[in-house]
Amino acid sequence: MTFKYSLIIGILLVSVTMVSQGASKDLPSPDSVKGIGKSPPELNELTGLLRKKELLQFYRTAEEAHRGKYPNLDDRDSIGRYLWLCYYIASTPLFPFNDYDDNTRAVTYDNVDLMLKREAQDRFLTIARNELDQLVENHDFKRQELAALFCTYAARMLRDIRSSYEPNLAEKRKKAETRRENEMSQRQKNYDSSKRTSEEMYADIRESMRRSSNFNGKITLNGNRNSNIMPIVELMEWELLQTLVKLYPGKKSEVMKYIKLAGYENAAAYKLIDRTVGHDAQTEFLYKGKPKFPSNLGKELEE
């Protein structure tokens, strides 16, 4: 593993280990659905990458597997492979933001984690909305079990991406810039060119340029990542709510359960409903018994 990726892997060591050992206890595995077997050998490469903490390679390999073939809904084994693939994608943590240490290079991973979770949720919920009844009928799955699996994985992926958004990123960047300016100013005060050879001075210039490149690269990557998160969240919110309303018509407690699992409670939950499925005859059941909230409650979560 290259040095620049080892920084990310070190930060996520504990959480990745938990996933690779099946310790994601709040996320049911596909074999909790009667008729779905254990994780198939075809996905051993993915589980192996998680055990070795090779998170970037896991996401790239999972992305290739997910885009490679739409599951054959007439084939129980194909369905099982697909559900296990989505389980691993939903279970695996996201990359963190780069720190602002100018002595280390920015870690670049092209937001493959965000994109894959978004694409997986999109396909997953499209199947849930359009093919669930066919799956139940053709393979004798229990509808309640299969619907719960679809909604749980989708809610988890939305929750993880939404919670990764950094609303105070600009403030953190300014603090990092101020701290770096102070450090550079102090280094400049202590610098005595009369005691440096020409070669040493050239080396000092190169070192200063390297540190500037590192710092600016981290600012750019962090800003790009953060700006991508909320548009992705908006798409995932719409997908989840459309699916919940279709799978659980008239069952407010079921819909609200998955909304809460996705990280929305109280006023934030109803604001989510308002901006996705809205208040009409089909969603009237979601508004029955709606509590009255102070006008500012849930604002922070929505932002």
Indicate whether 163 and 239 sit together in one domain: yes
Indicate whether 158 and 197 sit together in one domain: no
Taking the CA of residue 223 as centre, how many other CA atoms within 13 Å lie in the half-sphere pointing to its CB?
A: 10
Indicate whether 157 and 177 sit together in one domain: no
Contacts of 125 (CB under 8 A, 6+ apart): 150, 154, 239, 240, 242, 243
pLDDT of residue 86: 96
% pLDDT > 90, the chain: 75
Q: Is the pLDDT of residue 174 over 50?
A: yes
- The reply to whether 271 falls in a domain is no
Out of 180, 210, 240, a domain closes at: 210
- The reply to whether 273 falls in a domain is no
Indicate whether 154 and 235 sit together in one domain: yes
- The reply to whether 298 falls in a domain is no
- The reply to whether 290 falls in a domain is no
Indicate whether 188 and 115 sit together in one domain: no
Total number of domains in the chain: 2
% pLDDT > 70, the chain: 89
Indicate whether 139 and 102 sit together in one domain: yes
Tokens read off for 13: 């060591």
Indicate whether 97 and 181 sit together in one domain: no
Q: Is the pLDDT of residue 49 over 90?
A: yes
Q: Is the pLDDT of residue 178 over 90?
A: yes
Indicate whether 96 and 194 sit together in one domain: no
- The reply to whether 301 falls in a domain is no
Tokens read off for 232: 């992705």
The chain-wide mean pLDDT, for the chain, equals 88
pLDDT of residue 64: 94
pLDDT tens column, 67-121: 877 889 999 999 999 999 999 999 999 999 999 999 999 988 889 999 999 999 9
Q: Is the pLDDT of residue 11 over 60?
A: no
Say if residues 256 and 269 touch (Cβ distance below 8 Å): yes
pLDDT of residue 70: 83
How many residues in total does the chain contain? 303
DSSP secondary structure code for residue 28 in this structure = -
Whole domain around residue 201: which residue ranges? 172-210
- The reply to whether 19 falls in a domain is yes
Say if residues 155 and 261 touch (Cβ distance below 8 Å): yes
State mean pLDDT over 36-42. Answer: 95
Indicate whether 236 and 150 sit together in one domain: yes
pLDDT tens column, 180-206: 999 888 888 788 777 888 888 888 889
- The reply to whether 297 falls in a domain is no
pTM, whole model, 2 decimals?
0.86
- The reply to whether 299 falls in a domain is no
Indicate whether 146 and 117 sit together in one domain: yes
Confidence of residue 17 (pLDDT cuts 50, 70, 90): very low
Question: Residue 216 CA to chain centroid, in angstroms?
Answer: 25
Indicate whether 36 and 94 sit together in one domain: yes
Indicate whether 17 and 144 sit together in one domain: yes
pLDDT of residue 251: 97
CB atoms closer than 10 angstroms to residue 197: 8
pLDDT of residue 25: 59
The span from the CA of 73 to the CA of 131, in Å, is 8
